[in-house]
Structure 1
Amino acid sequence: MESPRHPAREWSIQEIVRSTGVTSRTLRHYQQVGLLTPSRTGHGGQRFYDGAALLRLQRILVLRELGLGLPEIGRVLDEQVETVSALRAHAAQLEREQERLSRIVASVQSTIRILETGGELMTDTMFDGFDHTQHREEVEERWGEQAYADSDRWWRSLSDTEKEGFREEVDALVAGFADTSARELPAEHEEVQALTARLYTWISAGWGGKRPGAEAFVGIGDMYVADPRFGATFTVDGRPFAEHVRDAMTVYALEHLE
């Protein structure tokens, strides 16, 4: 029950968009996948969000910043954890990330000073804080250092809005493949292949605009199946469908790519 000092309040979707920078399209998608439900829908379909919805949206955005995909976020939110305790855990993760980024800034500033004074470069300080993830290593091993460099340069060139649009597209693709898999549509089905064409465009963008050939595209599909991190992305309600995506990519590659 709301206390007299803290009366119940709701925010319109327009207020949420202005305050957070999250687009109305993203909020609708969060509702469609069951992550964030409006507290009520008013006249003309106007959606309103109460304090509990705002807290949930903040957690969603924090978890996105920490690199989680929507299926993983859903699993985290479904855990029966008291809100303040959950936010404390998120804050601790963000503080660790902030500390890591501060170390990167310090390492770059140290390199600048060394270059300006003619000192000796030291690997102990030059690379402090950098997160050399397995994804980078895998990309460089499979497709070369240039492939990773092009992708990284492209991502850093995007505005926040463009990055959000890129994330929205992959979320929509995951939802689409989850649906076609649940309906047991074959890989060569027109609807599945339309999704795969969008996936190819999305991957090409992530490669800095370079279009992967048939072998590379099939290789990415194989990685979706072999790597449990991608497997988690292509799992909804405990039902995996990475193989469905891989098979669709294989069909697309054979029919459209060289």
Structure 2
Amino acid sequence: MEWSIQEIARRAGTTSRTLRHYGELGLLEPSRVGSNGYRYYDQDALVRLQRILLLRELGLPLPAIAEVLEGQRDTAAALRTHLALLEQERVRIGRQIASVRTTLHKTEEGEELMAEEVLDGFDHTQYEREVTERWGREAYEKGDRWWRSLSARQKREFQEQQVAIAQDFAQALKDGKAAGSDEVQAITRRQYEWLSITVTPTRSYFTGLGEMYVADPRFTVNYDRHGEGTAAFVRDAMKVYGERHLTDG
């Protein structure tokens, strides 16, 4: 089964021009081009477009989406990650809906409002709860103050540094390097130094963060977009580094 570019654009809520742009970037090639010059897309292309749209909703720019699609060749595994992210978002939106309903009801009835009810589901600091529960409120507030103190350029440079580290991890994995090898542990030291800008990581903090990279799809996608399995590889490397160099003292 296949669909014309006009059909796909209409159903996706986008334009034929956008789909042609995706094709020019190598993101979404048509399955065939008719004698009339029209582009047609089969089921595989349809699934690929779904992945592109999902990644766009996560806020990834097109170059980053290209990296994700190149790195995640296992479509089923990629869709499972997307599904987990969507389910988390559904829970958050469900909390928002319930919050607004409660606010509306209490406003109409003249009842007293509770802040935790009104603001439930509107967290602008999406990792605040995880960080606070794992490492304490002070750790979160210190990191939050540091991040807010940076200029836009400093924030971008900090993020670019992390991307470079993640790419080096992904390349080491592709090259068949072991997590405990000297080459990979040198990259892991850069990861440690990158984290040390905001906190002095203990062994449990460092290895626990590595576990979070795999357990939480929001983290996993940031690593696995450079290559399938990168997040797990980073976790293993961080565990080795923690055992060799760090303490909880």
TM-score by length of 2: 0.52
Aligned counterpart for 1:210 among listed residues 199, 204, 221: 199
Aligned residue for 2:218? 229
SS at match of 1:186: coil
Aligned residue for 2:170? 178
Q: Distance in 1 between matches of 2:68 and 2:117?
A: 35
Q: Distance in 1 between matches of 2:196 and 2:62?
A: 22
SS at match of 1:239: coil
Computed over aligned residues only, the root mean square deviation of the Cα atoms, in angstroms, reads 3.5
- Contact residue 68 and residue 225 of structure 2 kept, 8 A: no
- Contact residue 234 and residue 241 of structure 1 kept, 8 A: yes
Per-residue deviation at 1:192? Answer: 0.6
TM-score by length of 1: 0.51
Per-residue deviation at 1:187? Answer: 1.1
Residue 168 in structure 1 maps to residue 160 in structure 2 = yes
Alignment of 1:38-117 (within 5 A): 68=60, 73-74=65-66
Structure 1: unaligned runs, 5 residues or longer: 1-33, 36-62, 79-120
Residue 139 in structure 1 maps to residue 128 in structure 2 = no
- Contact residue 128 and residue 140 of structure 2 kept, 8 A: yes
Q: Distance in 1 between matches of 2:246 and 2:183?
A: 19
Give me the identity figure in percent. 50
CA distance 1:77–1:188, shift in 2 (3 Å): closer
- Contact residue 166 and residue 226 of structure 2 kept, 8 A: no
> What number of residue pairs does the alignment pair up?
154
Aligned residue for 1:252? 241
Per-residue deviation at 1:76? Answer: 8.5
Per-residue deviation at 1:132? Answer: 4.3
Q: Distance in 2 between matches of 1:188 and 1:132?
A: 37
Per-residue deviation at 1:72? Answer: 5.2
Q: Show structure 1 runs of 4+ deviating over 4 A.
A: 69-72, 75-78, 124-130
Per-residue deviation at 1:228? Answer: 1.4
Q: Distance in 1 between matches of 2:208 and 2:63?
A: 23
SS at match of 2:187: helix
